[in-house]
Amino acid sequence: MKELHIISFNYPYPPSYGGIIDVYYKIRALSDLGIKIHLHCFVDKIPATVDPEVEESTENIFFYEKKKNPLLYFSGIPFAAAIRDSDLLLKNLETVKAPILFEGLQTTYIAKLLKDKGYQLYLRHHNNETEYYKGLSLSEKNIFKKIVYRIESLKHKGYEKKLLKRFEAVFCLSGKEYNEVEIYSKNARLIPIFHGNQLVKQLDKKGNYFLFHGDLTTADNKKALMETIDLFKTLPQYKLVVASDRASEDIQRRISAIQNITLTPIQTTEKLHNLLEDAHANILLSYQNSGTKVKLFNTLYNSRFVIINGNITDDPVLKSLCLYGADMAEIRQQIITSAEKDYNDSEKRKEILEKTHSDDAKAEEMAKIIFKN
């Protein structure tokens, strides 16, 4: 029986944002291959129960509380990694001798202690963290946070160079990250995002509104939303639905003052899929050049038109399935153009996505690399 430790930066349920979507559906796909998953999760607070959806795909699940010491900001180690340090994690890993997959650089604090003990170490490289924090710094308006993010970006630059060579393989989400890792360490493998979608939805030609969805606690998503709100203020004839479980009071007030924009919670994957199915077009914007964004797959599989800027994906095949705008003037024009168009792309998407982006195929490729068979 093949066994695998997976160390996650957070509890992977519900799979409602970014990297957690990749973690959750990767666990499911690897488990479906018969691999026993020992899941280790760093959390703010240990949950009282484990969701059955996670329990059925894992052999064991362990929780560790992230450290809450603000002085760790002054550590030479990136803060996100420094708060994910645990002696208990080391003990639990020793109970089962199996390969270890780290989900993101923020989980790798203990990696230096494991390589010498004969463990095979693998990394899922979710972001170029140097560029990610640099992007957060540029998007952030709060001057203190702007400085903190910039320092974290510089810390990650040195941390990545030292650490990436420790892994048997680094599984990258996009071609851009693959090329960057390969320069550092010559152990990059390209395994695109696990997203949980299996079939492209067959939908009517028209939807009811434009949709913006995302985690509105991140500076990048907040900036993207503000730009989108400003656009729809000039397009009162079109309805925009903003879907998020993490909207500040300031964002709520701003949206409530505009007649053609409404805010709705997501809460469950089913609710998100319903919102996507009823949308005529989706607005996906980013100001961080960090590979393909996970939510692109949800929209391409479950909705109609997808309007993007250049930072949503660096995959030319995925880009060909979207409406592209190089700046906000072009995004505005794509909104107007798509509103008048019928959606007829289901068969084209089905042919491309179900052939090249299946979770099952990605899990098999990853398992072959980890278990060398």
53 occurs within a structural domain: yes
131 occurs within a structural domain: yes
- Asked if residue 287 lies in contact with residue 345, where contact means CB atoms within 8 angstroms, the answer is no
Burial of residue 270, with CB atoms counted within 10 A of its CB: 0-12 exposed, 13-18 middle, 19 or more buried = exposed
Please tell me whether residues 172 and 86 are part of one structural domain: yes
Residue 113 pLDDT grade (very low, low, confident, very high; cuts 50, 70, 90): confident
Tell me the average pLDDT across 262-278: 91
202 occurs within a structural domain: no
pLDDT tens-digit series, residues 350-360: 999 988 788 99
Please tell me whether residues 347 and 269 are part of one structural domain: yes
pLDDT tens-digit series, residues 131-140: 888 888 888 8
Range of the domain at 323: 209-354
Please tell me whether residues 83 and 113 are part of one structural domain: yes
Q: What percent of the chain has pLDDT over 70?
A: 99
Statement: residue 289 has pLDDT above 80:
no
204 occurs within a structural domain: no
The pLDDT value recorded for residue 215 is 84
Q: What is the DSSP letter of 105?
A: G
**Distance separating the N- and C-terminal Cα atoms of the chain:** 13
Please tell me whether residues 226 and 328 are part of one structural domain: yes
270 occurs within a structural domain: yes
Tell me the average pLDDT across 28-37: 98
Q: 255: domain CATH number?
A: 3.40.50.2000
- Asked if residue 161 lies in contact with residue 143, where contact means CB atoms within 8 angstroms, the answer is no
User: Of all helices (H) and strands (E), which one includes residue 272?
Assistant: helix 269-278
Query: CA–CA separation, 194 vs 24, rounded Å?
Result: 8
Please tell me whether residues 168 and 95 are part of one structural domain: yes
153 occurs within a structural domain: yes
pLDDT tens-digit series, residues 16-25: 777 899 999 9
The pLDDT value recorded for residue 373 is 64
Please tell me whether residues 297 and 318 are part of one structural domain: yes
Residue 241 pLDDT grade (very low, low, confident, very high; cuts 50, 70, 90): very high
Burial of residue 246, with CB atoms counted within 10 A of its CB: 0-12 exposed, 13-18 middle, 19 or more buried = middle
345 occurs within a structural domain: yes
Residue 198 pLDDT grade (very low, low, confident, very high; cuts 50, 70, 90): confident
Two structure tokens written together for 133: 């924090």
Two structure tokens written together for 150: 């910039």
The pLDDT value recorded for residue 160 is 85
Q: Which residues of 275-297 are buried (b: 16+ CB within 10 A; e: fewer)?
A: bbebbbbbbbbbbbebbbbbbbb
- The sign one gets for the Cα dihedral 175, 180, 183, 188 is negative
The DSSP line for 130-172 is: HHHHHHHHHH--SHHHHHHHHHHHHHHHHHHHHHGGGSSEEEE
Please tell me whether residues 172 and 310 are part of one structural domain: no
Query: CA–CA separation, 294 vs 303, rounded Å?
Result: 14
Burial of residue 232, with CB atoms counted within 10 A of its CB: 0-12 exposed, 13-18 middle, 19 or more buried = buried
Report how many domains make up the chain. Answer: 2
Please tell me whether residues 246 and 183 are part of one structural domain: no
Please tell me whether residues 236 and 300 are part of one structural domain: yes
Please tell me whether residues 304 and 178 are part of one structural domain: no
Kindly list the distances between the CA atom of residue 196 and the CA atoms of 20, 26, 273, 303, in Å, as whole numbers in the listed order. Answer: 11, 8, 12, 15
Please tell me whether residues 179 and 132 are part of one structural domain: yes
79 occurs within a structural domain: yes
Please tell me whether residues 100 and 113 are part of one structural domain: yes
Lowest pLDDT segment from 49-58, 170-179, 238-247, 275-284:
170-179
